[in-house]
């Protein structure tokens, strides 16, 4: 199974510094990840991986900042014949898109002069794959 990257785009990037609160401690800002997989209706070989990462402050769990980063990778898949081939592709494509999301988060938090959120080099494990028609 082979694939070709057609493009990776920043879909949305938001960062908002929240008012300082005394009950917040550093290190509470662990991003939540979400992945959406879409298959083109025009061609079964074209797929999009949307990787979203966010940190949201609530009254119950206040955070130093709110963060929303979404990147979409567009790919063309070749020689994928079984579901395992597609699952392997989705894992590899997620790794490709994850590095863009990771770099955006590190850049945003360090540029805002708050403690940097440092994410692991390898993406977190995604338990659910959501194939959808685009």
Q: What is the pTM of this model?
A: 0.83
pLDDT in tens, 74-110: 999 998 888 888 888 999 999 999 999 999 998 998 8
Residue range 59-77, pLDDT digits in tens: 887 888 899 999 999 999 9
DSSP strand pairing (32-39 vs 65-78): unpaired
Nearest to 96 by CA among 120, 126, 75: 75
- Confidence (pLDDT) at 133: 46
Domain ranges, ordered by start, for the chain: 2-115
pLDDT tier, 28 (very low <50, low <70, confident <90, very high otherwise):
low
Nearest by Cα to 58 from 32, 34, 36, 79:
32
Q: Which CATH superfamily is domain 2-115 in?
A: SecB-like (3.10.420.10)
């Amino acid at each position: 199974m082979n694939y070709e990257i057609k493009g990776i785009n920043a879909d949305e990037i938001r960062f908002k510094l929240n008012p300082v609160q005394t009950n917040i401690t550093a290190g509470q800002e662990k991003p939540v990840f979400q992945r959406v997989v879409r298959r083109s209706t025009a061609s079964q070989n074209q797929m999009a991986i949307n990787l979203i990462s966010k940190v949201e402050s609530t009254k119950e769990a206040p955070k130093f900042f709110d963060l929303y980063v979404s990147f979409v990778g567009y790919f063309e898949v070749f020689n994928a014949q079984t579901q395992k081939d597609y699952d392997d592709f989705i894992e590899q494509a997620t790794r490709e898109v994850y590095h863009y999301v990771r770099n955006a988060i590190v850049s945003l938090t360090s540029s805002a002069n708050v403690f940097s959120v440092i994410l692991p080099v390898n993406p977190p494990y995604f338990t659910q794959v959501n194939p959808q028609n685009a």
